[in-house]
Each structure stands twice: as C-alpha cells, then as structure tokens.
Amino acid sequence: MLAVKGDKCLLGRQKMWPKGMWSCLAGFIEPGETLEQGAAREVHEEAGIHCDPAKTEYLFCQPWPFPSSLMIGLILPAESDEIAVDKNELETARWFSRDEIRRVLAGQHDEMFAPPPFAVAHHIMKEWAERDD
C-alpha cells in the first residue's frame, strides 16, 4: 500500500534490504477487517500515519507464492504527515516527492532504488508516479 499526501508518498526501509532500496509499506489483513481497514491500520502501526479507510483506492492484485498470499495494491490518502516509525517493523520511513519516484523508477536517482518490476510495490509506485493529480 502507498500512503500519499499531496505530491508526496510514504516509503519505508527494512534493515535486511539492500542499501538504497525503499518500498511501499505492507502487511496482513486481520480477521474481521476489510482490505481498506487493514491497510490503514498497517500504515498507522508501521509509520504512525493516519489514513481514512473509506478513501482507499484499489489498484490490482497479484498471487504471491510466499506465504501463499494474495498481494493487493492500494493507495491511501494520508490525513497526517508526521512519521513515527515502529522500529520493530521498519528501519525508517520518509516522504518522497512524485519527481523523486519518477527518477527512481527510471533508474536515475543517485541514492535509492525501487523494488524490482515483478513486485507489487513497484507497480503501485509506478501507477502513482505517472499520475498528474
């Protein structure tokens, strides 16, 4: 899922990832939650950002073999922008401009790179970056 606020999006990093790789936040739906509620909960748990589940935009889904899951691409408008990272979930998180994400996806950013094209996160970032809104 990609939390967005204006012309910026929220990405996170996990310690085990290669240096420079940033990605969308991710998580699992709990019993009794809708996709939208689970996505908003995960964004809040991992980064302290509030999102309204009712404003979540569904993009697409992809079967994922590990651990026999269905990956779902969502965009959530953020209601806040002050990040409070849960260090048990992420190493860090920060906001990136649409222009930065466009450069990342084009392989022209000198400090970071995106997940590979087979990853749902790559396509969520690409969908948002190509928009003009």
Provide the pLDDT confidence category of residue 104 given band limits of 50, 70 and 90.
very high
For residue range 75-98, list pLDDT tens digits in order. 999 999 999 999 999 999 999 999
Q: Tokens 């970071």 identify what position?
A: 112
pLDDT for the residue 67: 78
The total number of structural domains that make up the chain: 1
pLDDT for the residue 59: 98
Does position 68 have pLDDT exceeding 90, yes or no?
no
Range of the domain at 81: 2-129
Cis previous bond, 77, omega within 30: no
The average confidence (pLDDT) of the chain is 95
Provide the pLDDT confidence category of residue 65 given band limits of 50, 70 and 90.
confident
The CATH number for 93's domain is 3.90.79.10
Nearest to 90, CA basis, from 36, 27, 3, 12:
12
Cis previous bond, 67, omega within 30: yes
pTM of the shown model: 0.94
